[in-house]
Structure 1
């Protein structure tokens, strides 16, 4: 009985969970599945964007005058901490063929959702 239950449990959860994959020109190739998947979903991350206090250095040009370095005044621009509501991070726009991604299988393994790009911790 225990062996049978274990076998059924393994069958039920096989094909579920997180897996690494590689983006292709027309889809995603998961590491543990031999075929490219062209019908997949990509996460969008809605939320509140918090920007810390920061300083940017830039140039000031009179309208229609000069280039980036010709006759410009170099200045520092200070921005206060701010919050931007109703923002959405579109993960798909940052992905290109060859990128490694983290994918989740959902709906009993019938659908794949790309969650994010994955990079080495060393850079």
Structure 2
């Protein structure tokens, strides 16, 4: 039986390219994990990672105008007799520059992690919570 040499070459190239693509993309991508007391345990990897990174988001923090209502106590004033006074405090819109949002992670928190640098490094991108409440 004579096989087509071009078909054999195409088959070999297809197999080789597929193998290299799987190797290149293996160990990359997003995965769920759990923060432990000593590191990060990924759902698809049996060992705990102690050396991982956490994403940080720099930016501008904007607080809208808002009002807080509360009670104040007028102590140590002559003739006030520690009276309580209901009052409201108004705060104008404010912007704070150079703010950095950091994840506050605790053991047991579920997280979304991304493998980078060919799977050599892991970055925790966010905390993951149930959509049911």
Please indicate the TM-score interval, normalised by the length of the shorter structure.
Answer: 0.7 to 0.9
**Structure 1 residue 11 and structure 2 residue 28: aligned?**
no
Deviation at 1:51, TM superposition (A): 1.2
1:63-102 alignment runs, 5 A limit: 71-91=83-103, 94-102=104-112
RMSD: 1.9
Query: In proportion to residue count, which structure has more helix?
Result: 2
Instruction: Answer with 1 or 2: which has the greater Rg.
Output: 2
In the superposition, relative to structure 1, how do residues 46 and 64 fare at CA in structure 2: closer, same or farther (>3 Å)? farther
Does residue 113 (structure 1) correspond to residue 112 (structure 2)? The answer is: no
Q: Distance in 2 between matches of 1:19 and 1:112?
A: 10
For residues 63 and 113 of structure 2, what CA distance do their matches in structure 1 show?
A: 28
The CA distance in 2 between the partners of 1:44 and 1:63, in whole Å, is 44
Structure 2's unaligned 5+ residue stretches are 1-12
Q: CA deviation at 1:60?
A: 2.3
Count of matched residue pairs: 117
Q: Classify 1:78/1:29 alpha carbon distance in 2 versus 1 (closer, same or farther; 3 Å).
A: same
- Cα drift, residue 120 of structure 1: 1.1
Change in CA separation of 1:117 and 1:63 when aligned onto 2, cut-off 3 Å? farther
TM-score when normalising by structure 1: 0.84
Q: How many Å separate the matches in 2 of 1:39 and 1:52?
A: 38
Q: Identify the residue that residue 58 of structure 1 maps to in structure 2.
A: 70
Mark the runs of 5 or more structure 1 residues left unpaired by the alignment: none
